[in-house]
Amino acid sequence: MIQLEGLTKRYGDRTAVDGLTFTVEPGRVTGFLGPNGAGKSTTMRMILGLDRPDEGRVRVNGRDYVDAPLPMREVGALLDARAVHGRRTARNHLLWLAHSNAIPGKRVDEVLHLVGLGSVTRKRSGTFSLGMSQRLGIAAALLGDSKVLLFDEPVNGLDPEGIKWIRELMRGLADDGRTVLVSSHLMSEMALTADHLVVIGKGKLIADVEMREFVRHSSGVLVRAEDQGLLTRRLTEAGACVEPGAEGALVVTGLEAKEIGRLATEARVVLSELTPQRLSLEEAYMNLTRDSLEFQAVVA
C-alpha cells in the first residue's frame, strides 16, 4: 500500500506537486494520469525518496521507503529506462542491483527471460533500442519480487506485442495481491489496464475514482427542455450531474435517459430532446483535465 498525505513539492516559485492525498491499494492496478508536466514523475520520485517533499508525507507499507533495509525487495520501480550505465551488459546491470539487495543471481536470468531479453543478456545496454531499454527497466523493477510496483510511462517505445504483454503483466501482478501504480498521459492506455484511476493536473488531485465509475460518468444524455431550471433541480436532487452543453442544451451524467424522461414527466417539464451520448474515455478524460493543461499546441 502507498499512502500520500498532503504531498507537496516546489521548484523555486513553481509548485510541481500540490497537496496530493490519496492511497494506492493492493490487489488492483491504479492508473496515475495527467497531462505533460502534471507532476506524475515528481510524485513517483517522492514515493521512492529520490525527491524530498516540501510538505506532507508518503508511506510505503506503513513507513518511509528510505528506511527500508532492502529497498528493492520493498518496491520495484521503473522511472527512467535510460538511466543505465550504457557500457554494462544487461545481465551485469541487473547483477549489481541484485547483489546490492541480497537477491540471488539466478533471479537475474529469470527476469531477463520474463521480459523477452533472454537472447541479449550479454549485450551492452547502451546499444539497446528504446523498447529494449524499457524492457530492461521492467526487468529491474521485477527483480526484488516486491509487493509494491511503480511504473512511470512503461509502454513508451514498446511495440504492440510489448504493450499487450505489459498490460497482462500488470494485471497478473495485481491479481497476485501486489500494489501496482502505473503512470500515463494517455487515457486509452489505462482504459484497458487500470481498475482504479488517480488523475492529477498542475500538481493537484482531480479525480480518485474506480475505473467502472469513471466509465459510467463518461456516458451522458443530451437534454433540451422548456423549464431547464426546474429540471436541473430535479435531476440534481436525484443524484445526476447537470452541465451546460452546446446551444443551450444540458448534458446529464449519472442517470439513464429513461430515468430523466420519467423525472421530467413527474415535474411536468416538456422535453424537446433526450439523446443518450457516449463519450469516449479519452473525451471524458479531456473534459476532466481541460482546465489543467499547461502545454497545448496552437492550431494555426
Ligand X SMILES: Nc1ncnc2c1ncn2[C@@H]1O[C@H](COP(=O)(O)OP(=O)(O)OP(=O)(O)O)[C@@H](O)[C@H]1O
The site for ligand X (CB under 6 A) is made up of 11, 16, 34, 36-42, 185
51: helix, strand or coil: coil
Q: What CA–CA distance (Å, rounded) separates 269 from 146?
A: 58
How many degrees, rounded to 5, is the angle at CA 198 between CA 193 and CA 200?
125
Backbone φ, ψ for residue 150 (5° rounding): -120, 130
Q: Pick between residue 185 and residue 224 the one whose CB is nearest to ligand X.
A: 185
167, interface contact from ligand X, Mg ion, none, CB < 5-8 Å by kind: none
Of residues 144 and 203, the one with the C-beta less far from ligand X? 203
Cell of 131: 523498447
Binding partner of residue 36 among ligand X, Mg ion, none, CB under 5 to 8 Å per kind? ligand X
CB of 68 to Mg ion, least distance (A): 23
Smallest distance, Mg ion to C-beta of residue 173, A: 21
> Could you tell me if 68 and 2 are in contact, meaning their C-beta atoms sit under 8 angstroms apart?
no
Smallest gap from Cβ 167 to ligand X, in A, equals 19
Q: Which listed range, 34-42, 86-94, 157-165, 221-229, lies at the site for Mg ion (CB under 5 A)?
A: 34-42
Alpha-carbon distance 116 to 48, whole Å? 27
Residue 91: name its binding partner from Mg ion, ligand X, none (Cβ under 5 to 8 Å by kind).
none
From the list 38-46, 138-146, 215-223, 272-280, the region that binds Mg ion by CB under 5 A is: 38-46
**Sign of the CA dihedral running 251, 252, 258, 260:** negative
The yes or no reply on residue 42 touching Mg ion (CB under 5 A) is: no
120 binds, among ligand X, Mg ion, none (CB under 5 to 8 A by kind): none
- Least distance to ligand X from the beta carbon of 214, Å? 19
Quick one: which segment of 32-40, 91-99, 189-197, 236-244 binds Mg ion (CB under 5 A)? 32-40
Q: How far is the CB of 185 from ligand X (least distance, A)?
A: 5
Helical spans, DSSP H, in the chain: 40-47, 71-74, 90-100, 106-114, 130-142, 160-175, 187-191, 211-217, 228-237, 257-266, 281-289
Minimum gap (Å) between residue 294 Cβ and ligand X: 7
Distance, CA of 72 to CA of 189 (rounded, Å): 27
150's contact among Mg ion, ligand X, none, with CB below 5 to 8 A by partner kind, is none
The residue from 29, 30, 34, 41 that contacts Mg ion (CB under 5 A) is: 41
The side-by-side arrangement of strands in the sheet containing 271-278 is 241-244, 250-253, 219-225, 271-278
Residue nearest to Mg ion (CB): 41
Least distance (Å) between residue 20 CB and ligand X: 11
Q: Which of 21, 49, 59 is nearest to 203 (CA)?
A: 21
Question: Is residue 83 packed enough to be buried (19+ CB in 10 Å), middle (13-18) or exposed (0-12)?
Answer: exposed
38 binds, among Mg ion, ligand X, none (CB under 5 to 8 A by kind): ligand X
Q: Which spans of this chain sit near Mg ion (rule: CB under 5 A)?
A: 40-41
